[in-house]
A and B are shown apart, each in its own frame.
Chain A
Amino acid sequence: QKEVEQDPGPLSVPEGAIVSLNCTYSNSAFQYFMWYRQYSRKGPELLMYTYSSGNKEDGRFTAQVDKSSKYISLFIRDSQPSDSATYLCAMVNSGYALNFGKGTSLLVTP
């Protein structure tokens, strides 16, 4: 079993919808949780970063971590066509390198 599981989608939503992206993990030692966005033919870019359980909001994006359930989420409000990309969850414990989920492909249609 891979340490980080993420549904690859694809996920298609109409413009303005709320998008929910999720990952589960098995390693309870993970301390830092991140979401990256990757456009086609580009490198991943950091979108959100959280350390503890709870919610973190940045504009239209909210990252949620539930360490007791080993579950993280990214919510996108008022989704836009420009949000169409692949979203990768990632997590790490101190002394190691990031473990990535396989990524969820999101398409927001006008």
Chain B
Amino acid sequence: DADVTQTPRNRITKTGKRIMLECSQTKGHDRMYWYRQDPGLGLRLIYYSFDVKDINKGEISDGYSVSRQAQAKFSLSLESAIPNQTALYFCATSGSAGQGYTFGSGTRLTVV
């Protein structure tokens, strides 16, 4: 099994719909992250969580919310999807501050 599992892998949704992207990890790490990747813009941080009770906004949190249900689970929600939220979304996890991140395989989201 993968260390970081993201579901779904691909999703097409309509403008205005609520959608949740899920992430689970088996690394036993406290820190989890959500990034989105767009051509020409690289990876941009949406939200991050250093433990179950700690949630922090990233660079581009508007229009998104998160829930840290357990150490191993961190979900990202789009309350009312809009077309410019079409992107590749990555979840990641890490140990302490300087450790490398382990990424999931990504969720390709299309909002029509």
Would B58 and A97 count as touching, CB distance under 8 A? yes
**Total number of B residues with any Cβ neighbor in A under 8 Å:** 23
Interface contacts (Cβ under 8 Å), in number, total 55
* Residues on the B chain within 8 Å of A60, using CB: none
Using CB atoms, name the residue of chain B closest to A94.
B97
* A43-B105 contact, Cβ under 8 Å, with A32-B98, A97-B48: yes
Would B43 and A31 count as touching, CB distance under 8 A? no
B interface SS class = strand
When chains A and B are docked, how far (Å) is the Cα of A3 from the Cα of B55? 22
Would B106 and A43 count as touching, CB distance under 8 A? yes
In whole Å, how far is A43's beta carbon from the nearest beta carbon of chain B?
3
A interface SS class = loop
* A44-B40 contact, Cβ under 8 Å, with A94-B97, A97-B48, A97-B58: no
Interface hit among A13-21, A75-83, A98-106: A98-106
